[in-house]
């Protein structure tokens, strides 16, 4: 591959790249020739600085080798796709093991440093050449560092997004407690996005389960701003359009106040104090006969 690929890629600044192209080739050759020694030096510094502690020495050495080779290839070809893919793949493997962003940044900067020192000791006798060498090396090395760090951060963000999604789904389960009756216990902080998701989930649940009554229990909701309160009202109305009745339970005085403030007629909303009462009301609507056993209050029998 070598110089051909390197020159093919250089389009934006011909004079600079003509010079730096030749230099880059020399630089890449240098880094290839000293591969074993520089790689070991780097791995040693990773251990010394206590980076990548979640990984064993062998693992660090294996990854260091891969990164080293990818690094040089990126320098040589000035294409970063392979490196990017590798960085993403590496991140995917090491993030679950607890490797932190500062460790990845740390090792990439170390490699940059190890290579720079080696270049310096090789060329420092000819100061002008040495300067030009660094002119060629630095932008590429920066971009490599950038690519790897960015790949790591993006992968982390993707994982976080996925986890948030999972948590969101877990925290808004639509439960079918008996035929045609759904319960939606809302817990925690409801933001507009979650509220919206919850509504969609509930409406689909109503259709899929042919529900006639829904109990939305908001006992576990800490606070509700006007936007989310509005959403709750819309959810009640939309459920009705599908033919289901909504009973809201666990309405705190604060949330009731918010609803009144945004102009909700609480009289039109079917509210019951507790979840238990809400379920009983739902069963009554569904035509079940609820009988309280005097001996054990709270248990019920179907007639």
Partner 1 sequence: MEVPILKQGDFLIASIQSALTDADLMALRDAVVTKVGHFRSSGVIIDVTVLDVMDSFATRTLRDIAHMIRLRGAETVIVGIQPDVAFSMVQLGLTLEDVATALDLEEGIAYLSRRTKEIRKGVASRGR
At its nearest, how many Å lie between partner 1 and the CB of residue 211? 8
The count of residues in the chain is 303
At its nearest, how many Å lie between partner 1 and the CB of residue 46? 53
Out of 142, 234, 257, 261, the only residue in the binding site for partner 1 (CB under 8 A) is 234
When the beta carbons of 62 and 208 are compared against partner 1, the nearer one is 208
Burial 4-26 (b: 16+ CB within 10 A, else e): eebbeeeeeeeeebeebbebbbb
When the beta carbons of 138 and 237 are compared against partner 1, the nearer one is 237
Judged by CB under 8 A, does residue 244 bind partner 1?
A: yes
At its nearest, how many Å lie between partner 1 and the CB of residue 226? 15
When the beta carbons of 54 and 238 are compared against partner 1, the nearer one is 238
Determine the straight-line distance between the first and last CA of the chain, rounded to whole angstroms: 82
- For residue 197, the surrounding DSSP H or E stretch is helix 192-209
At its nearest, how many Å lie between partner 1 and the CB of residue 238? 4
Q: For residue 246, with 0-12 CB atoms within 10 Å meaning exposed, 13-18 middle and 19 or more buried, which class applies?
A: buried
When the beta carbons of 10 and 238 are compared against partner 1, the nearer one is 238
Six-digit token string for 302: 């179907």
Judged by CB under 8 A, does residue 240 bind partner 1?
A: yes
When the beta carbons of 23 and 174 are compared against partner 1, the nearer one is 174
At its nearest, how many Å lie between partner 1 and the CB of residue 258? 18
When the beta carbons of 163 and 234 are compared against partner 1, the nearer one is 234
Number of residues that bind partner 1 (CB under 8 A): 17
At its nearest, how many Å lie between partner 1 and the CB of residue 167? 23
Site for partner 1 in 180-219 (CB under 8 A): 199-200, 203-204, 206-207, 210, 212
Question: Which candidate, 2, 145, 157, 137, places its Cα nearest to that of 87?
Answer: 145
Judged by CB under 8 A, does residue 284 bind partner 1?
A: no
At its nearest, how many Å lie between partner 1 and the CB of residue 209? 10
CA-to-CA dists, residue 246 to 16, 17, 176, angstroms: 71, 70, 14
When the beta carbons of 117 and 210 are compared against partner 1, the nearer one is 210
Name the one range near partner 1 by CB under 8 A: 47-55, 77-85, 103-111, 232-240: 232-240
Q: How would DSSP label each residue in 44-78?
A: HHHHHTT-STTS-HHHHHHHHHHHHHHHHHHHHH-
HSE (CB half, 13 Å, CA atoms) of 271? 18
CA-to-CA dists, residue 139 to 83, 143, 159, 253, angstroms: 16, 6, 30, 61
Q: Which residues are 290's β-sheet partners? A: 302
Which spans of this chain sit near partner 1 (rule: CB under 8 A)?
199-200, 203-204, 206-207, 210, 212, 234, 237-244
């Amino acid at each position: 591959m070598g110089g051909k690929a390197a020159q093919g890629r250089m389009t934006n600044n011909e004079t600079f790249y003509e010079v730096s192209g030749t230099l880059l080739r020399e630089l890449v050759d240098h880094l290839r020739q000293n591969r074993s020694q520089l790689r070991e030096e780097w791995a040693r510094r990773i251990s010394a600085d206590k980076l990548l502690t979640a990984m064993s020495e062998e693992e660090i050495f294996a990854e260091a080798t891969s990164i080293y080779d990818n690094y040089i290839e990126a320098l040589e070809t000035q294409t970063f796709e392979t490196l990017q893919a590798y960085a993403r793949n590496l991140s995917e493997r090491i993030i679950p093991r607890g490797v932190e962003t500062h460790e990845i940044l740390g090792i990439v900067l170390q490699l940059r440093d190890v290579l720079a020192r080696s270049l310096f000791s090789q060329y420092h006798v000819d100061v002008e050449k040495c300067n030009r060498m660094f002119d060629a090396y630095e932008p590429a090395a920066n971009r490599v560092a950038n690519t790897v760090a960015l790949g790591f951060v993006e992968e982390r963000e993707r994982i976080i997004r996925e986890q948030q999604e999972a948590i969101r789904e877990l925290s808004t389960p639509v439960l079918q407690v008996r035929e045609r009756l759904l319960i939606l216990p809302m817990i925690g902080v409801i933001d507009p996005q979650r509220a919206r998701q919850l509504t969609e989930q509930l409406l689909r649940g109503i259709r899929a389960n042919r529900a006639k009554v829904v109990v939305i229990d908001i006992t576990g909701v800490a606070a509700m701003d006007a936007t989310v309160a509005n959403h709750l009202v819309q959810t009640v109305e939309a459920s009705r359009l599908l033919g289901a009745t909504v009973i809201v339970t666990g309405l705190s005085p604060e949330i009731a106040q918010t609803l009144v403030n945004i102009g909700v007629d609480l009289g039109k909303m079917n509210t019951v104090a507790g979840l238990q009462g809400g379920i009983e009301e739902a069963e009554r609507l569904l035509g079940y006969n609820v009988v309280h056993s005097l001996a054990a209050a709270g248990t019920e029998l179907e007639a």
